[in-house]
Amino acid sequence: MSEEASARKRTKQDYSCSVIIPCYNEAENIQAVIKRVPQMAKFTEIVVVDDGSVDGTAEIVSNLMEDLEHVKLISYSPNRGKGPAVKAGFDAASGDVLIILDADMTVPPGSQCTSL
């Protein structure tokens, strides 16, 4: 069987997924966003990139990490913008599939992260 044919036969259970959440001053939304990310594939990790927030976003994520081992936090200052935050998330991600999810809840997590 060719490598291409073998790849087509893989199911979503063969993959891992990293959901990258770049955020800036999203203390009001970040907990809800993290809790609404569904389990996808064989493993789903959440990589929150706090892009220089001054409202306590990183502290909220740190507290959640005590109970949620699949959540990673990258936090830096000053704010560098969404592009660098997404790149930092990609660099830290370990999943086979990478998804970007905005922290502002304009697109609810379940609506774009339901399956691979």
pLDDT band at 14 (very low <50, low <70, confident <90, very high): confident
Tens-digit pLDDT profile for residues 31-61: 999 999 998 888 999 999 999 999 999 999 9
Q: Which domains does the chain have, with CATH numbers?
A: 12-112 (3.90.550.10)
With left for phi above 0 and alpha for psi between -120 and 50, is residue 3 left, alpha or beta? alpha
The CA dihedral of 48, 52, 56, 61, to the nearest 10 degrees, is: 10
**φ/ψ (deg, to 5) at 88:** -60, -40
Calpha distance 87→108 (Å, rounded): 22
User: How many percent of the chain have pLDDT more than 90?
Assistant: 72
pTM comes to: 0.84
Which one-letter DSSP state was computed for residue 28? T
